[in-house]
Amino acid sequence: MILFRCDYAEGAHPEILRRLTETNFEQLDGYGCDPYCESAKRKILAACACPEGEVHFLVGGTQTNATVIAALLRDYEGAVAVETGHIGVHEAGAVEYTGHKVLTLPQHLGKMNAGELEAYLAAMDADVNKDHMVWPGLVYISLSTEYGTIYSRAELAEIQATAHKYGIPLFIDGARLGYALASPACDYTLADLKDLCDVFYIGGTKVGALCGEAVVFPHGAPKHFFTTIKQHGALLAKGRLLGIQFDTLFTDNLYGRIAANAIERAQEMIAVLKSKGIPFFLESPTNQQFVILENGYMDRLAQEVGFDIWQPYDATHTVVRFATSWATTPEMIEQLRELL
Amino acid sequence: MILFRCDYAEGAHPEILRRLTETNFEQLDGYGCDPYCESAKRKILAACACPEGEVHFLVGGTQTNATVIAALLRDYEGAVAVETGHIGVHEAGAVEYTGHKVLTLPQHLGKMNAGELEAYLAAMDADVNKDHMVWPGLVYISLSTEYGTIYSRAELAEIQATAHKYGIPLFIDGARLGYALASPACDYTLADLKDLCDVFYIGGTKVGALCGEAVVFPHGAPKHFFTTIKQHGALLAKGRLLGIQFDTLFTDNLYGRIAANAIERAQEMIAVLKSKGIPFFLESPTNQQFVILENGYMDRLAQEVGFDIWQPYDATHTVVRFATSWATTPEMIEQLRELL
Amino acid sequence: MILFRCDYAEGAHPEILRRLTETNFEQLDGYGCDPYCESAKRKILAACACPEGEVHFLVGGTQTNATVIAALLRDYEGAVAVETGHIGVHEAGAVEYTGHKVLTLPQHLGKMNAGELEAYLAAMDADVNKDHMVWPGLVYISLSTEYGTIYSRAELAEIQATAHKYGIPLFIDGARLGYALASPACDYTLADLKDLCDVFYIGGTKVGALCGEAVVFPHGAPKHFFTTIKQHGALLAKGRLLGIQFDTLFTDNLYGRIAANAIERAQEMIAVLKSKGIPFFLESPTNQQFVILENGYMDRLAQEVGFDIWQPYDATHTVVRFATSWATTPEMIEQLRELL
Amino acid sequence: MILFRCDYAEGAHPEILRRLTETNFEQLDGYGCDPYCESAKRKILAACACPEGEVHFLVGGTQTNATVIAALLRDYEGAVAVETGHIGVHEAGAVEYTGHKVLTLPQHLGKMNAGELEAYLAAMDADVNKDHMVWPGLVYISLSTEYGTIYSRAELAEIQATAHKYGIPLFIDGARLGYALASPACDYTLADLKDLCDVFYIGGTKVGALCGEAVVFPHGAPKHFFTTIKQHGALLAKGRLLGIQFDTLFTDNLYGRIAANAIERAQEMIAVLKSKGIPFFLESPTNQQFVILENGYMDRLAQEVGFDIWQPYDATHTVVRFATSWATTPEMIEQLRELL
């Protein structure tokens, strides 16, 4: 059995385990106040080209989304997202649990359209009943998206400009940011993001860490964000677990290098799938690939290959996801070729 | 510099790191649906002598408290705790953030008194205005407490009987449960807890794990508790991180053995402190020791020894905490003797 | 200037004011524990043919929706509503503010389709990721709807049967219930509702009261619902204000009689509008009528007649709402004819 | 049976009912956008000597407290109140329900002591763990207090100065503000409050209105406070109900005059109670009087006179509350004399 179900099927990059082991008996202060967290933050801010910014480490993606969104919004505000946005679908209502509505726009291959955002914000602004409605308080997008697609620099800039026109910030869910940036289709770098959005996070869980997401506020975090993290149950006593992992990931660009592996394997996987005549549901330039399988074939294949069932396609076919990751090897792709 | 500041200054027990490394490239399902989580749950239920029970893994203590309490309470209910209870003081209002009041009783060396609980619940029951008040919906105690003290079996039984008399469950915050059970002063075992409370958790973060708390519901969890965990941002994608750690801790009673180390070191530390004539603020039979230091002496000592400042004692003295842990060695105690 | 903007432009039915004045100096217990509240509840339960049920009075519609929904749902559940449902649009996120997501289905002239509800609930039930999603915990519909339309008995029965098939209750927002029941198109009565849904409310604010909504639980209210009302800030100290109003409305079927007036006037208004060749946006059998006005004409008309701007129709036309109410007189309709 | 149980046993001042009746068929815009609300706001701001301020009308006290507090606080902040403060005791956890902790200080005859507030805020400021704690975000006091006592001008000024020193506002719950201001013991006026606190409300429910509280922000309300009111379910569709009532209460100082009646009757009642040798629990200069009754006597008296049972005094005595109001007549006091 070989799994292409997701990008979190293995543990961590070995270098992370090595450094956790190496530093294990150093006595360190808790709650992120240790030198590894400090070092990791400096390295991340350097990589993001915003040394004046602020970095906070949280444990997982849903938690990070809920915490950042709650910190940015006032009670009467909601988060604008596309209908496939992770916060509105597969986070068990974590955002609503903190009191905020997710305001949805249509999705286009998982992406938000700046024109539709503008139309929504303009209509809200003009609505005579707007005082009876949830105010849009931030724009949320994921990069790469839930369909593996990415925004171009121009698209990000247009979305941000639209949001700013209405006085609201743009927040990027970067659970899979590494895979977006490593894609040859991506026309910007990590260092560009400080100008293309107002806050984003660098996902560790899906890009080689055991857990951990690094939130980057290029212009400083909301007041008392540390307390907000604690209030959300997102503060690790052993903050070193996050600090050491991110310090490792941002040493010698390990983060970028292992993300690139996933993209190379994905390109190989695309070739394999195409060579077998398997139709694609959409074109994704990152590590998630969505193909259409006939249901009987799908059931047989599932006995030897792990993939994720995404959505029904028609009465006899299903859309499934194959994902590569930092840990996928050329041998695994070869194995897949044989099993298909 | 040597730290006795807390019981989470080091990383994890080396056996945990060894097994994380050993299993690192096994491809596993996410979200706790892997064989290590299953195995860990079986071992924990066996150790707790409640094979019919249910175990869930969460990441940290504040998170676990807020999640379990919210799952057990209805909106109109609050959690009864003593005034020093962790949920009411150092969790940044995480319980209130989910909508529930912490209803406080006096503390006695950090403990709740069953008679005072009975008096409170009886008064509430008799109050003509009770429909305008928050209903007590569960009783929360910590074991060991924030002052390192523990409840006797009789005390637990009496508190639980009182809670049950009024139809509400008893929840034990076991962030430091290992150290309580390992104390020679403790007259019950892990296997007894299923009868002495309604839900409890076995703290990993402070007893040898990198992170992780194992919630034990001896009689089954609240409906959809998995979704509740997700909604609280407490579900790890790489659930293996928790499964492997707890599987290790509950193999050959590693959890009990390393907790016992902390207690042995604490006994040695008590002897050292007493030999230096340092007065104790209270007597604790576990790994946290509270002593009274003259402020000038305290400041000098702080340059070589890490301890936690707890509370002012009088104008010229301060109560400080020294903690041992699974990682404390006899050499560290010896060093402390020299530095005092 | 004559207003057809809404059904709450006037104060209260004069009989209500008369009885408030008549009883004004009677000394009564507060918080709904007075004989007028008791009497009103008995009369309502008699009119609803469920003498074993329970009635609670709240002040306004948004408040009632948020309070009832929060009382019926567990934290991990959301309310299923159509996309035009009042709770999801014009209640400022009051439901999300209590932690619950509004799960939306398409609307058809403001109504939910039982087949679409079934499809959604079945898909959720079959979804492999359902534990990561908000669970549907109740179905919310409004009667009459935000477009003035009503459900047939068969439609209600089918929606309820679908909800029950999945173990969830049906809640009817009856802010305009009187106008639905008074419509000649309605094939059921107030006494039938106990069998067609699980909880509903009888709107007073829009049907002749100064304020007030009477929630009817045909089979008993959730535990401690009084405290829930208080917690939502929805409990009036002078509960008499609601008791006397509903006691008056349910004496000699005043509620039904004044609702019938609105429907008769609406029928006359339809005739007037049609006679002027004004196109209807949709056909409504109740007191709200939606027509399409050319924008220039609309602006001129707005100087003499009050109506509600609903939504843009096309570049040069707008959908507007004209509403009648318990207070609308034949003379007002005549005046409208002259002004159109 | 004659009731002195509370100050909301009767309906409304007859002038209010007269004006509600007189204006009943005027067609008015909803949601507080009518000329009566506008007029009432102007009159209130004039009476408060802060024409640049902002007034909002809400329906009841618990609702107003929860709404204002939530609007003023950020998620990580709580409200500081004395342990008898209404928000912490008899509001069913409405403040916690919105996510905020009530941080309690000791009470002294129902009042907060500025020195104790200073000590608490200073200790918080100096606490090394403060980032793990709920931040004090506002100070809440009630005027008159739950024990009928009032603050002197100097006391208010000192509390406000202390709060401001730590950058937080002072909020006065004025559910019984009228009775405080009408007391001969009060050394300030309504016009002084703008300088003595940052936001307060003028209670209508307990001072002659059917319902309604007028929140006064001397320096402007929080952004989108209208939406916040709606989100809390506190916005009346028929805003006229509040506008007309407050317009009446602030015409020719009706509010002050009827509050004064309560105080005069209270002084007479004190004389009657003293003449009967009934001991007072404490001295209150307003409309609530707390006396100690022997339990047997209390039970007999309760058959003819309504009073509120407050708290046990000792094994054989109970503290009870007698309240006068705008509606209490000299004849009622005379009757009480005969029944005692």
DSSP string, A252-277: TTHHHHHHHHHHHHHHHHHHHHHHTT
Dig out the tokens for D254 from the structure: 């009706």
Tens digit of each residue's pLDDT (9 = 90 or more) over C272-289: 999 999 999 999 999 999
Where helices occur in chain D by DSSP H, the ranges are 14-22, 35-47, 61-72, 86-89, 94-97, 114-126, 153-165, 177-182, 193-196, 225-231, 240-249, 254-275, 295-301, 330-339
Q: Which residues of D touch A230 (CB under 8 A)?
A: 131-132
User: SS3 of A280, please?
Assistant: strand
Report d(CA D194, CA B147) in Å as an integer.
Answer: 46
CA distances from D339 to A31, C251, D293, D332 (A): 66, 37, 14, 10
Residue of C nearest to D231 (CA): C94
Cβ D37 vs Cβ C204: under 8 Å: no
Q: Which CATH class is domain A14-254?
A: alpha beta
The reported pLDDT for the residue numbered A110 is 98
Report d(CA D262, CA D176) in Å as an integer.
Answer: 11
CB contact under 8 A, C206 and D237: yes
User: SS3 of D84, please?
Assistant: coil
To the nearest whole Å, the CA of C228 is away from the closest chain B CA by 6
Closest C-alpha to C186, from C153, C145, C146: C153
The reported pLDDT for the residue numbered D213 is 98
C216 φ/ψ angles, rounded to the nearest 5 degrees: -115, 120
Report d(CA D63, CA C230) in Å as an integer.
Answer: 9
CB of A99 less than 8 A from some CB of B: no
Domain boundaries, chain B: 2-8+257-339, 14-254
Q: Which residues of A touch B22 (CB under 8 A)?
A: none
Q: How many CB pairs under 8 A join C and D?
A: 168
CB of D26 less than 8 A from some CB of C: yes
- Beta-carbon contacts of residue B97 (< 8 Å; ≥ 6 apart): A98, A231, A232, B66, D75, D99
CA contacts within 13 A on the Cβ side of C230: 24
Residues 211-270 of A with CB under 8 A from C: none
Greatest Cα-to-Cα distance within chain D, rounded to the nearest angstrom? 63
Architecture of the domain delimited by A2-8+260-339? Alpha-Beta Complex (3.90)
The reported pLDDT for the residue numbered D274 is 97
Dig out the tokens for B27 from the structure: 């491809």
Cα angle vertex B116, ends B149, B222, to 5°?
A: 75
Q: Give the mean pLDDT of D98-116.
A: 98
Closest C-alpha to A324, from A60, A8, A86, A15: A8
pTM over 0.80? The answer is yes
Q: Tell me, which fold does domain B2-8+257-339 have in CATH?
A: Aspartate Aminotransferase, domain 1 (3.90.1150)
Dig out the tokens for D123 from the structure: 């200790």
Token pair 């104390």 is found at B183
Cβ B14 vs Cβ A24: under 8 Å: yes
Closest C-alpha to C229, from C67, C79, C94: C67
Residues 137-176 of D with CB under 8 A from A: none
Q: What is the CATH number of domain C2-8+259-339?
A: 3.90.1150.10
CB contact under 8 A, C131 and B223: no
Closest C-alpha to C144, from C283, C331, C42: C283
The reported pLDDT for the residue numbered D277 is 96
User: SS3 of C225, please?
Assistant: helix
Closest C-alpha to D68, from D242, D198, D204: D198
Closest C-alpha to B28, from B18, B19, B37: B37
What ipTM score was computed for the predicted complex, to two decimals?
Answer: 0.97
What are chain A's partners, defined as 3 or more CB pairs within 8 angstroms?
A: B, C, D
For the beta carbon of residue B32, count every other beta carbon within 10 angstroms: 25
The reported pLDDT for the residue numbered B195 is 98
The reported pLDDT for the residue numbered B224 is 98
CB of D68 less than 8 A from some CB of A: no
Cβ D151 vs Cβ B110: under 8 Å: no
Token pair 């402007």 is found at D220
Positions of chain A with pLDDT lower than 50, given as ranges: none
Report d(CA C194, CA C189) in Å as an integer.
Answer: 10
Dig out the tokens for A336 from the structure: 């897949």
pLDDT by 10s per residue, chain C, length 340: 899 999 999 999 999 999 999 999 999 999 999 999 999 999 999 999 999 999 999 999 999 999 999 999 999 999 999 999 999 999 999 999 999 999 999 999 999 999 999 999 999 999 999 999 999 999 999 999 999 999 999 999 999 999 999 999 999 999 999 999 999 999 999 999 999 999 999 999 999 999 999 999 999 999 999 999 999 999 999 999 999 999 999 999 999 999 999 999 999 999 999 999 999 999 999 999 999 999 999 999 999 999 999 999 999 999 999 999 999 999 999 999 999 9
Residue of B nearest to C234 (CA): B132
Cβ D130 vs Cβ D86: under 8 Å: no
**Percentage of chain C exceeding pLDDT 70:** 100
CB contact under 8 A, D101 and B93: yes
To the nearest whole Å, the CA of A337 is away from the closest chain D CA by 52
- Beta-carbon contacts of residue C336 (< 8 Å; ≥ 6 apart): C2, C4, C269, C272, C305, C322
The reported pLDDT for the residue numbered C187 is 98
**Percentage of chain A exceeding pLDDT 90:** 100
Residue at D233: amino acid letter: G
Q: Select from D74, D96, D168 the residue whose CB has the most chain A CBs within 10 Å, as the one to mutate to test that interface.
A: D74
The reported pLDDT for the residue numbered D198 is 98
- Beta-carbon contacts of residue A123 (< 8 Å; ≥ 6 apart): none
Would the CA dihedral through D138, D139, D145, D151 be positive or negative?
Answer: negative
Dig out the tokens for B109 from the structure: 């060396």
Cβ A178 vs Cβ A150: under 8 Å: no
Give the end-to-end CA distance of chain A in Å, rounded to a whole number. 13
Report the relative pairing of strands A317-323 and A288-294 from DSSP bridges: antiparallel
Q: State the helix-helix crossing angle for A254-275 and A330-339, rounded to 10 degrees.
A: 20
Tens digit of each residue's pLDDT (9 = 90 or more) over D26-41: 999 999 999 999 999 9
The reported pLDDT for the residue numbered B115 is 98
CB contact under 8 A, C224 and B133: no
Strand-pairing partners, residue C340, are none
User: SS3 of C232, please?
Assistant: coil
Closest C-alpha to A212, from C56, B211, D10, B152: B211
Q: Which residues of D touch C24 (CB under 8 A)?
A: 10-12, 14, 17
- Beta-carbon contacts of residue B109 (< 8 Å; ≥ 6 apart): B145, B147, B149, B282
Q: What is the CATH number of domain D2-8+255-339?
A: 3.90.1150.10
- Beta-carbon contacts of residue D236 (< 8 Å; ≥ 6 apart): C59, C60, C205, C211, D31, D32, D57, D59, D242
Token pair 């406000």 is found at D160
Residue D111: which pLDDT band, with cuts at 50, 70 and 90? very high
Would the CA dihedral through C177, C182, C187, C189 be positive or negative?
Answer: positive
CA distances from A214 to A51, A205, A253, B231, C56 (A): 15, 10, 15, 20, 49
Q: Which of C100, C101, C133 sits opposite A90 (nearest CB)?
A: C133
CA distances from A52 to A202, A219, A222 (A): 17, 7, 14
Token pair 């002659």 is found at D208
The reported pLDDT for the residue numbered D113 is 98
Report the relative pairing of strands B317-323 and B288-294 from DSSP bridges: antiparallel
Tens digit of each residue's pLDDT (9 = 90 or more) over C114-165: 999 999 999 999 999 999 999 999 999 999 999 999 999 999 999 999 999 9
- Residue A119 host element (H or E): helix A114-126
| Cis preceding linkage at B284, omega within 30 | no
Positions of chain B with pLDDT lower than 50, given as ranges: none
Cβ A178 vs Cβ A256: under 8 Å: yes
Residues 104-133 of C with CB under 8 A from D: none
- Beta-carbon contacts of residue C334 (< 8 Å; ≥ 6 apart): none
Token pair 């640049």 is found at D52
Report d(CA C288, CA C280) in Å as an integer.
Answer: 11
Q: Which residues of C touch A102 (CB under 8 A)?
A: 101
CA distances from C304 to A297, C39, C320 (A): 69, 43, 15
SS (H, E, C) D215-226: EEECCCCCCCHH
Residue D267: which pLDDT band, with cuts at 50, 70 and 90? very high
